[in-house]
Amino acid sequence: MPRRTPLVIGHRGAPGYRPEHSASSYDLAFEMGVDAVEPDVVVSKDGVLVVRHENEISGTTDAADRPEFADRRTTKTIDGAELTGWFTEDFTWDELSTLRCRERLPDIRPVSASFDDQQPVLRLRDVLDAAREASLERGREIGVVLEVKHATYFATLGWDIAELIDAELRDAGWAAGALPLTIESFESSVLYALQERGIRATYIYLLEATGRPFDQLSAHGKAALTYRQTAAPAGLDALVGRVDGISVSKRMILAPDKLGRLTGPSSLVADAHERGLRVYTWTCRPENTFLIGQFRSRGAAGAFGDWAGEWAVIRDAGVDGVFVDHPDLGVEFFRA
> pLDDT digit string (tens) for 83-121?
999 999 999 999 999 999 999 999 999 999 999 999 999
Of 145, 148, 138, whose CA–CA distance to 321 is shortest?
Answer: 145
Residue 244 is predicted with a pLDDT of 98
- Give the span between the Cα atoms of 120 and 255, in whole angstroms: 39
Q: How far apart are the first and last CA of the chain?
A: 20
How high is the pLDDT of residue 207?
98
pTM of the model: 0.97
Q: Hey, what amino acid is at 98?
A: T
pLDDT reported for residue 214 = 98
3-state DSSP helix/strand/coil percent for the chain, to nearest 5?
A: 40, 20, 40
* CATH assignment, 7-55+101-334: 3.20.20.190
Distance between CA atoms of 279 and 276, rounded to whole angstroms? 10
d(CA 98, CA 265) in angstroms, rounded, equals 45
DSSP state of 226: P
Give the whole-angstrom CA distance, residue 96 versus residue 89: 10
pLDDT below 70 — which residues of the chain? 1-3
User: H or E stretch including 233?
Assistant: helix 233-239
181: number of Cβ within 10 Å: 22
d(CA 174, CA 297): 43
* Alpha-carbon dihedral 289, 291, 296, 297, rounded to 10 degrees: -60
Res 4: pLDDT: 83
Contact predicate 100/89, CB 8 Å = no
Radius of gyration of the chain (CA): 19
From residue 271, alpha-carbon distances to 28, 256, 257, 280 in Å are 35, 19, 21, 13
Amino acid 336: pLDDT:
86
